[in-house]
Structure 1
Amino acid sequence: MDCQRAETYVLHQLQHLSPTLYYHGLHHTLDVVAQAESLADAEGITDAQERALLRTAAFFHDTGFLTTYQGHEEAGCALAHQVLPAMDYAPAQIERICELIMATQMPQAPGDSHLAQILCDADLDYLGRPDFLPISNTLLQELQARDKMQDLRAWQELQVKFLSEHRYWTRTALQRREAGKQAHLAAARALLNS
C-alpha cells in the first residue's frame, strides 16, 4: 500500500471541490484524519495495516463530493476502486476501506467493526467539541447554498433531531465528547423553545 501516494492524490483532488461545500471541504477531511488517528491511539489500534486502512478511508470518506452530493459515499468507494489498485492496494484492502466509508453514511452503521466505529466517531467528533457552533454553521451555509434548508427554525429542529439521535460508538469518543454533545443538545432545545 502506497499510503503516501493515496493521500497526496486525495489532497490534490479535494482542491477541486465546490467552493460552496462550506462544511464538507478539505478542512473537514483533514480534521477527520486527525481525529481518526487520535481515536486509534486511544483505542489501542497498533497494527500498522489496520491503521493504514483507517487513515486511507478517512482521506477518501468524502471524496464522492467531487462528483455528487447525494450518495457521495458510494461515489467515494467508486473512486477508491478506480485509483487505489495503481497504488498497490489489494482488492481485499480496497473492500475494507469501502466498508469503512459506507459505515459513515447517515444514519451511521459501523456494526461491530472497531475501525468503522472509530471512523464514524471521527467524522462527527465536532458534535461534542467547543467549536461545535461555528462548524455547524458551515453545514447550515452549505445546505442553504443547495436550497436544502428553508429557515432557521427548520435548522434548529434538524439540530435537535440530529443531536438526539446521534451516538458515539467508541469508549474514547463517549468519554471525550458525549458531555459536550449533551450540552449542545440542551442549548439547541432551549433555542428552539425560546
Structure 2
Amino acid sequence: MKSNTIVKDAAEYVFNLFKDKLPGDYVYHNYNHTAETAKACKKLSKSYNLTSRDYEVLMLAAIFHDTGYITTYENHEEESVKFMKEYLTGNYSDEDISEIESLILSTKYRTVPDGSLQEILHDADYINLGNKSFDHRADLLRIEWERILQKTYTEEEWAQIQLQFLLDTQFKTEEAVLNYNEQKEMNILKQRAKIDKFTKESDKDKSKAKPVKDGRGIETLYRSVYDYHISLTSIADNKANMMISINTIIISIVITLFGTGFTFSSQSEFASVRFVFPMAFLLLTSLLAVVFAILSARPNVTTKEKYELSKKDSSILFFGNFAQLQLREFVDKIKELKQQKDELYESMSIDIYYLGSVLIRKYNFLSWSYNIFMFGMVICAVGFVIIMLFSY
C-alpha cells in the first residue's frame, strides 16, 4: 500500500478526514478500523493473482468504505461512495470509480458478496471475528452504540447479540477460512460460555426467590390485609351509625321544640324567639352531619357492565362484580383463577385496592360529618352563652 502513490495519498486523505470531522464517540468505526481492513485486504489478496488495477481498486474501496460515518450512521455506505467520488473524480477513470462504488456498497450488512474482490473486502471488514481481540473490539462497538444510537444492553443481551453475529457472519475466502475460522469458533464458544453463566446465575436467583413466591408468606400477607381492611370498614360503619343516631335525636328534639312554640321567657316577644337562631343552626349542622354519615355508610356496588368492560381493573372476587353473572359463568371464572396463580393474586390485589378506595371514601365522609357536628355544637353553645349573658 505504501508503494502505491494513489493508495498512499488516499489513505492520508481519509486519515485527515477522520481526524478533522469524525466525532470522538466513534470508538469502533474510525481510522483504526479502516487501516485494519486495508491491511487485511492486502494479506488476503496475496493468495489471489490480482492485477495491479484490481488490487488498487480493492485497496481504495477498503480505505473509503467507512468514511460515510462522518455524516450518518444508518446507510453510511452511500455517503462513503460520495466521499470516494469527490476525491477520485477527475483523477481516476469512471469505470474504476464504478467498480469501487460496487465494492463499498457490498459492505452493507447481510449483502452477499459477488466476485473475488467483494469477498476479500467482506472478510477483511469482519476480520475481527477471527481474532483474539474480538471481545475488545466488541466492547468498543457497544460503547459506540450507547453514545451515538442510545442503545443499551445488559451483559447477557450483549453476549446474545455477539453470538448471533458470529453465527450469522461467514468468511467467504479460502484464506480467511483457513487462517481465522479456528479463532472464530473459539470466540463463539466464549460467547456461549458467557450466556450459560448468566443463565445459571438467573436460575439460581429464581430458585432463591421461589420459596418466597410460592410459600405461605404471600398468602399470610393477603389474609392480613383483608382482615385489616374489614376491621377498618367495621370501625367506619360503627362511627357512621353513632353519628346518625346522635344527630337524628338532636334533629327530632329541635323539630319538636319548634313545633310546640317553645318559650323560655314571658317578658317580651323577642324573648320567646331569642334561642331560635342557635337552635336553627344546630338543626342545620346536625342535618348535614347525618347526610355525610349516611353517605359514608351507604354501600357502593359496581355493576356487571363495569366488570365486563374493564376486566383488568376489576376483580371477580368482589360481590358487586359477580352479583349479576350467571352461576356457571361465575364458577368458570373462579376455575380459571385457581389454575392461574398469578392472575389469582392479581385479582386479590385489585380487590384490596378497591376495598382501600371504599375506605378512603368512608373516612372522608366521616371526617366531614364529625367536623360539621363539632362546628355546629360549638357555635350553638357559644350562641346560647352570648344570649344568656345579654339577657341578664
Q: TM-score, normalised by structure 1?
A: 0.93
Instruction: Give 1:26's aligned residue.
Output: 31
| 1:155 maps onto 2:158 in alignment | yes
Task: Give the alignment partner of residue 172 of structure 2, picking from 153, 162, 169.
Answer: 169
User: How many pairs are equivalent?
Assistant: 191
Task: Report the counterpart of residue 125 of structure 1 in structure 2.
Answer: 127
Contact 1:53 1:97 in 2 (8 A): yes
Residues of 1 paired with 2:30 and 2:155: CA distance? 23
Root-mean-square deviation (CA, aligned residues, Å) is 1.4
**What runs of 5+ residues in structure 2 fail to find an aligned partner?**
198-392
The structure richer in helix per residue is 2
Partner amino acid for 1:65? Answer: Y
Correspondence for 1:137 among 117, 139, 145: 139
Partner of 1:189: 192
The one-letter code sitting in structure 2 at the alignment partner of 1:162 is: F
Deviation of 1:151 after TM superposition, in Å, equals 2.3
Query: Which amino acid in 2 is paired with 1:137?
Result: D
Give the deviation of 1:125 after TM superposition.
0.5
AA partner of residue 189 (structure 1)? R
| Higher alpha-carbon Rg | 2
Once the two structures are TM-superposed, the CA of residue 81 in structure 1 deviates from its matched residue by: 2.0
Structure 1 unaligned blocks of 5 or more:
none
CA contact (8 A) 1:108 1:120 kept: no
TM-score, normalization by structure 2: 0.47
| Rounded Cα–Cα distance in structure 1 between residues aligned with 2:185 and 2:152 | 24
Partner of 2:358: none
CA drift of 1:152 comes to 2.1
- CA deviations over 1:58-111 (Å, ceiling 9, x no partner): 10010001111111111101221222113x111111111111111111014212
CA distance in 2 between counterparts of 1:160 and 1:3 reads: 35
The one of the two structures with greater contact order (alpha-carbon pairs below 8 A, sep at least 6) is 1
Give 1:107's aligned residue: 110
- Is contact 2:81-2:104 (8 Å) kept? yes
Task: Summarize deviations over 1:142-187 as a string: whole Å, max 9, x none.
Answer: 1111212332222111101100111000000000111111111111
Segments of 4+ moved more than 4 angstroms: none
* Counterpart residue identity of residue 134, structure 1: H
